[in-house]
Structure 1
Amino acid sequence: MLVTFKSKAAADVLMYEEHAKRILDLLHKDVSKGILTAAELPDAIARLEAEIAESKKHPELEATQRDSDTRDGDADDDNEQERAKTVSFSTRAYPLLEMMRAAQRDNRDVMWGV
C-alpha cells in the first residue's frame, strides 16, 4: 500500500507504507492518516535528520532490499536474476525531509491519508 504525503509547499511524495511507517513511528504518528502541523515541523525535521545521520554510521544495517525482482537484460542469462539492489534509509527519507523543509519555510502543514 502507498502513503501519499501532501503539502501546499511541495509536490506530493509517495512512499510504500512499510517505509513510511518507520519514519512516522519515529515522529510518533499513525501511518494510516495524520498531520504534521507547521509548529511540529522543526522537531520532526530534527528527529528525521538525526535518524538519517545515525543510519549513515551503519549503512550495512540500514540497507533494505529492493521490493521487486528484476531480471538481467542479457539473453544468455535469461533465468538468472540480478543481485538485489539496496536503498538506504536516508535515500528513502530524503524526499519527505525536503517536503518537510519546504513546508516549514512556507509555514504549511504536511498531511497523509486524507
Structure 2
Amino acid sequence: MLVTFSSKAGADVLMLSQHAKPVLKIVGKLTGPELESRGVWMPEQLDEAITLLEAAIAQEKSVTVDEDPDEPLHPLAQAVSLRQRSFTLLDLFRRAQQKKVPVLWEAGSAW
C-alpha cells in the first residue's frame, strides 16, 4: 500500500506502508497495528513531530556488517537508514511549519 504525505508547502512524499508505519509510530500517529486511511498534522503539531523524528534519527543505531574490503556490499543490498528514509518528509514538515500550513497523509488502496 502506498502512503502519500502532502502539503501546500511542498511536493508530495510517497512511501510504501511498511516504511511509513515506523515513521508514523515515531511521531505518534500510529497507535495500533493497522494504518488509518488518513490523518493530519496541524501547523501547531509540526514542532513536536519534527522533534520526535529528529530524536529517533539521532538514536538510530548504525548497522554494522562484516564486509570484505575487496568485495564491497552491492548498493541494493545495503540497509536504508531512518535518516535516509525520512529525509524528504522531514523537509516537508519544516517547510509546512515555516508556512504555517498542515501536512496531510493518506493511505492508498492495497491493490
- In which range does the TM-score fall when normalised by the shorter chain? 0.7 to 0.9
Residue 4 of structure 2 is aligned to residue 13 of structure 1: no
The one-letter code sitting in structure 2 at the alignment partner of 1:40 is: Q
Larger radius of gyration: 1
TM-score when scaled to structure 2? 0.77
| TM-align CA RMSD | 1.9
Trace 1:33-48 onto structure 2 (pairs within 5 A). 33-48=38-53
Find out whether 1:107 has 2:100 as its counterpart. yes
For residue 3 of structure 1, what is the aligned residue in structure 2? Answer: 3
User: Which residue is equivalent to 1:64?
Assistant: none
SS in 2 for 1:39: helix
1:60 and 2:63 equivalent? yes
Aligned residue pairs total 93
Name the aligned partner's letter for residue 60 of structure 1. Answer: V
Partner residue in 1 for 2:68: none
Q: TM-score, normalised by structure 1?
A: 0.75
Per-residue CA deviation, residues 53-100 of structure 1 (Å, 9 max, x unaligned), is 111xx1117xxxxxxxxxxxxxxxxxxxx5622211110011100000
CA distance in 2, matches of 1:15, 1:90: 14
Tell me how far apart the structure 2 counterparts of residues 19 and 54 of structure 1 sit (CA, whole Å): 18
Structure 1: segments with no counterpart, 5+ residues: 62-81
Query: Which structure exhibits the higher relative contact order, with contacts defined as CA atoms closer than 8 Å and separated by 6 or more residues?
Result: 2
